[in-house]
Structure 1
């Protein structure tokens, strides 16, 4: 697969797929745990539970082909803001 570093599918995982999908062959396992989970605004479809836990059950961003670009874009934005905050 071209750009295979952007996509990984693990049919052998006992949790596969961890979200409901009608296309398991297109389910991306690369970001098994979303790196944006602790971001206040990640751009995904989540629900904040009363307990303070972020429920991402309805979010498929990390599990799509496009998810790689979305996640890296959000991380780059956050790192740029952190660098700006450090600049005197």
Structure 2
């Protein structure tokens, strides 16, 4: 799966891997910035800091090969919610 549409590993990046991992060969860089960051509940392992900022440093979901399916599933569900909440014709 190396460097496919579902998985990309940028081992030349100066920050690689940007999260601690025991398996850097499985570290997916495709979602370098998690598209679910601004979701109130993303399904990941995060902590809300006193400042209100979401700290995702312990979350590896976007950086696993399986993370692609997790992220797309969450995005599709959210888009479906948005479509249902819009009045017809908009």
Which TM class, normalised by the smaller chain length? over 0.9
With over 3 angstroms needed to count, the CA separation of the structure-2 counterparts of 1:73 and 1:3, relative to structure 1, is: farther
- After superposing on structure 2, the runs of 4+ consecutive aligned residues of structure 1 that deviate more than 3 Å are none
TM-score by length of 2: 0.93
Counterpart of 1:18 in structure 2 is 18
Q: What per-residue deviation string (whole Å, max 9, x for no partner) do you get for residues 37-68 of structure 1?
A: 00000000000001011000110000001000
Counterpart of 1:79 in structure 2 is 79
Distance 2:83 2:2 in 1: 33
Unaligned runs of 5+ in 1: none
Q: What per-residue deviation string (whole Å, max 9, x for no partner) do you get for residues 13-46 of structure 1?
A: 0110000011111100000000000000000000
Counterpart of 2:35 in structure 1 is 35
1:7 aligns with 2:7: yes
Residue 87 of structure 1 deviates from its aligned partner by 3.0
Other structure's SS at 2:83 match: helix
Other structure's SS at 2:35 match: coil
CA-based RMSD of the aligned residues comes to 1.4
Other structure's SS at 1:17 match: coil
Residue 2 of structure 1 deviates from its aligned partner by 7.7
TM-score by length of 1: 0.95
| Number of residue pairs matched by the alignment | 88
Other structure's SS at 1:4 match: coil
Unaligned runs of 5+ in 2: none
